Amino acid sequence: DKLRLDPPEFTVKNYACQRRTPLKHNNTHLTHALELLAESAAFGENEGRSVAFTRAASVLKTLPRSVQRIEELRGLPCLGEHSLRVIKEILEYGASQEVESTRQSEQYQAMKALTGIFGVGVKTADRWYREGVRRPSDLMDSEQKLNQAQQAGLQHYKDLNTCVSKAEADAIGVIVDQAVQAVLPGAQITLTGGFRRGKESGHDVDFLITHPEEGKEEGLMPKVVNWLDTQGLLLYQKTTRNSYLESKDGPARPPSNMDRFERCFSIFKLESQSCSPPEREKSHQWKAVRVDLVVSPFSQFAFAVLGWTGSKLFERDLRRYAGQVKNMSLNSHSLFDSHQRCFLRATSEEEIFSLLGLEYIPACDRNA
């Protein structure tokens, strides 16, 4: 029949790292719905289901125009039965019952609010939920034990749930660069994460720090953090030291996506930027901003930039593609060729894509 003779409306590659995903696309009403279901599945600790909805949303983000009819999606990868059913319902009725009832549910709303506290993951939020906690304010006068991160998260809840603008990210960049130059002249900082992908706002600001002379970067993080702290710029920080070298002859670590760089999860105290003096007096004069700092040796810098630019799905698919298609293993430190049994060196992201046999995708098109 006619349907079968028509060529597919769109062609989309299987892995997110094989396709371009710009920031702005034409199907936000559909992707928001699927991403809400992905979020809800993650709250239920069903990662497989969560990734499936995320992948379906990501495929729709690559389409050059807005989908009108479900038939147009014929032949596209990553669109499972459940996702297609949700999409069809939205196309026909303007909304999906499952999405709307999830959005309204007490559990979804509580989990969203509680995981929105810095330092609180799904496991903790779920335990609190079962103990009757619904809102961050319920924690203020409860007996729940909070660790230092969670205390800071609760204290700065409002600020940390207000988007960070690009201007604020740039202002933080100036401060981080000052700190880094003060303790190690010649060190370089690079803005990574969502802002490097061209986002105009984000939930935090991510920086990668390196020095062109290999080895100079060792032990840099505590010095940077100390400088920032002395200036009164930090509301919270947790520094983790590099565990890459020492783990080599140490006990086997559990498999994890976590890399082993020296890193710091922090909350900056950012002085207000553009407020005129009278305005300043009215509102509070600074904003709490989440900042992630990572130090990389120069020889691993290209892998670190690629690994910290995201998006999370783009990274996940890069690693999956490397393993499944190329028999290689990629992380934020290196690329290992399991067939040749050797590490492949690279000094730029372009080189890494080329080693993987992938067309280069610029950061602005990695918004999968």
Q: Which is nearer to ligand ATP, 202 or 297 (CB)?
A: 202
Task: Give 113's contacts (C-beta < 8 A, 6+ positions apart).
Answer: 134, 135, 136
Paired with 234 in beta bridges are 268
Residue of the chain from 203, 216, 238, 241 that contacts ligand ATP (CB under 6 A): 203
* C-alpha atoms less than 13 angstroms from C-alpha of 111 in its C-beta half-sphere: 21
* C-alpha atoms less than 13 angstroms from C-alpha of 242 in its C-beta half-sphere: 18
Residue of the chain from 19, 55, 199, 287 that contacts ligand ATP (CB under 6 A): 199
Under the binding rule (CB under 6 A), the answer on residue 206 touching ligand ATP is yes
Residue ranges in 227-266 that form contacts with ligand ATP under rule CB under 6 A: 258-259
Given the structure tokens 């105009």, which residue do they identify?
A: 200
* Binding partner of residue 258 among Mn ion, ligand ATP, none, CB cut-off 5 to 8 Å per kind: ligand ATP
206 catalytically annotated: yes
Residues 316-355: x/- map of binding to ligand ATP (CB under 6 A)? ----------------x-----------------------
* Binding partner of residue 366 among Mn ion, ligand ATP, none, CB cut-off 5 to 8 Å per kind: none
Under the binding rule (CB under 6 A), the answer on residue 136 touching ligand ATP is no
Q: Can you tell me the distance from the alpha carbon of 53 to that of 37, in angstroms, rounded to the nearest whole number?
A: 7
Q: Which is nearer to Mn ion, 25 or 290 (CB)?
A: 290
Q: Can you tell me the distance from the alpha carbon of 3 to that of 261, in angstroms, rounded to the nearest whole number?
A: 52
Given the structure tokens 């934020």, which residue do they identify?
A: 332
Distances (CA, A) of 151 to 186, 232, 287: 36, 19, 17
Q: Which is nearer to Mn ion, 73 or 267 (CB)?
A: 267
- Of 229, 231, 211, 233, nearest to 220 by C-alpha is 211
249 catalytically annotated: no
Considering the complex, what minimum distance in angstroms separates the CB of residue 324 from ligand ATP? 19
| Residues 173 and 226 sit within 8 Å (Cβ to Cβ) | no
159 catalytically annotated: no
Query: What single letter denotes the amino acid at residue 226?
Result: N
Find the catalytic residue in 126, 206, 259, 317.
206
Q: Which stretch binds ligand ATP (CB under 6 A): 96-104, 123-131, 307-315, 322-330?
A: 307-315
Give the burial string for 118-150 (b: 16+ CB within 10 Å, else e).
bbbeeebbbebbeeebbebebbeeeeeebeebb
| Residues 272 and 288 sit within 8 Å (Cβ to Cβ) | no
Q: Which is nearer to Mn ion, 128 or 268 (CB)?
A: 268
Under the binding rule (CB under 6 A), the answer on residue 153 touching ligand ATP is no
Q: Can you tell me the distance from the alpha carbon of 229 to that of 293, in angstroms, rounded to the nearest whole number?
A: 14
Under the binding rule (CB under 5 A), the answer on residue 307 touching Mn ion is no
- How many chain residues bind ligand ATP (CB under 6 A)? 16
Residue of the chain from 126, 159, 168, 206 that contacts Mn ion (CB under 5 A): 206
Q: Which is nearer to ligand ATP, 136 or 310 (CB)?
A: 310
Q: Which is nearer to ligand ATP, 138 or 365 (CB)?
A: 365
Q: Which two tokens stand for residue 132?
A: 């009757």
Task: Give 290's contacts (C-beta < 8 A, 6+ positions apart).
Answer: 118, 160, 164, 203, 204, 205, 265, 266, 267, 268
- For residue 239, what is the enclosing H or E element? strand 234-240
Given the structure tokens 């303790």, which residue do they identify?
A: 183
Residue of the chain from 136, 153, 297, 310 that contacts ligand ATP (CB under 6 A): 310
Under the binding rule (CB under 6 A), the answer on residue 194 touching ligand ATP is yes
Q: Which is nearer to ligand ATP, 186 or 323 (CB)?
A: 323
Which residues are near Mn ion by CB under 5 A? Answer: 193-194, 202, 204, 206, 292
Which residues are near ligand ATP by CB under 6 A? Answer: 193-194, 199, 202-204, 206, 258-259, 307-308, 310-312, 315, 332
Catalytic residue numbers, as ranges: 204, 206, 292
